Amino acid sequence: ATLSDEQIANVRGVVFWTENEDGNATLASDLVMAGDYSNCTHGLIVSVKNIASVPWQNTADKVSTFQNNSAIYAPNGSSYKSIISGTGSTDPVNCIFGYQNTQILKAYNEQCADANKVLPLSKLEEWIEGGNEAPENTTGWYIPSAKELHMLSYKDVDNVGDYDNAGAETMTEVNQSIAKVNGDQLSSACWSSTEYASDYVEFDYAFAILFDYGFLSYDLKIYSSNVRAVCAF
């Protein structure tokens, strides 16, 4: 369709996934989001604008340590699941957890030193306050989990950690829609809200998606990657 200038200016996001019975992913996996937004069960939207390119943290720290030490956000015995994950088929990396992860990141940023703040979240909050509110009847923008980013790049698969599950089928279609509204193309690496459970204790990593290849990766938190917002509706 040919859009008017007014229509183009009003587009905030593109729907990239809807829940269906044949897929592996479900919005119901995020119990925190289901409790806060019980009507947002239909699908996911990605923002047409890129937010920033920043490191995860200027000085790396483990958000999962904060989560495990907090009675509110601890994954055992609460609605919250672990923000940190390995790459196994039953690990949190294979679930839609972006909304709940973002709530954990907010709580972490409120109590940590400035050098340790999770910068993708800080930039997201600044971007929203700058007039980039999410569409109505949604959860509001949040930092997507590794699963959500993988679906945005490739498709819904049973194990995002399987190196054979890589491609850019969904991204290619979404970028066509983004181009029609003069948005920012999905490209390069993009941070998720999921930490990576590294075997190397001296390093801190977070999951990212390499959009050019549809490949789930994990990067050192001090490296810069793009930040993109997602919301459920």
What is the arithmetic mean of pLDDT over 71-97?
95
* C-alpha span between 214 and 218 (Å, rounded): 13
pLDDT at 55: 98
3-state SS assignment for residue 218: strand
Task: Indicate if the pLDDT at residue 5 is higher than 70.
Answer: yes
Task: Indicate if the pLDDT at residue 201 is higher than 70.
Answer: no
More confident residue, 129 or 200: 129
* C-alpha span between 52 and 70 (Å, rounded): 30
pLDDT at 95: 97
What is the arithmetic mean of pLDDT over 147-151?
98
Task: Indicate if the pLDDT at residue 152 is higher than 80.
Answer: yes
* C-alpha span between 227 and 233 (Å, rounded): 20
Count other Cβ atoms within 10 Å, centred on residue 44: 26
More confident residue, 212 or 30: 30
What is the arithmetic mean of pLDDT over 167-171?
95
pLDDT in tens, 214-223: 999 999 999 9
Among 202, 196, 226, 216, smallest CA distance to 63 is for 196
Residue with tokens 């970028």: 175
User: What predicted TM-score, i.e. pTM, was given to this entire model?
Assistant: 0.96
What is the arithmetic mean of pLDDT over 82-88?
95
Among 158, 184, 152, 190, smallest CA distance to 170 is for 152
pLDDT at 200: 63
Task: Indicate if the pLDDT at residue 77 is higher than 70.
Answer: yes
Residue with tokens 């479900």: 26
**Mean of all residue pLDDT scores within the chain:** 95
Task: Indicate if the pLDDT at residue 20 is higher than 90.
Answer: no
**Contact in structure between 217 and 163 (CB atoms under 8 Å):** no
**Contact in structure between 227 and 209 (CB atoms under 8 Å):** no
- Residues above pLDDT 90, as percent of the chain: 89
Among 16, 160, 32, smallest CA distance to 101 is for 32
**Contact in structure between 132 and 92 (CB atoms under 8 Å):** no
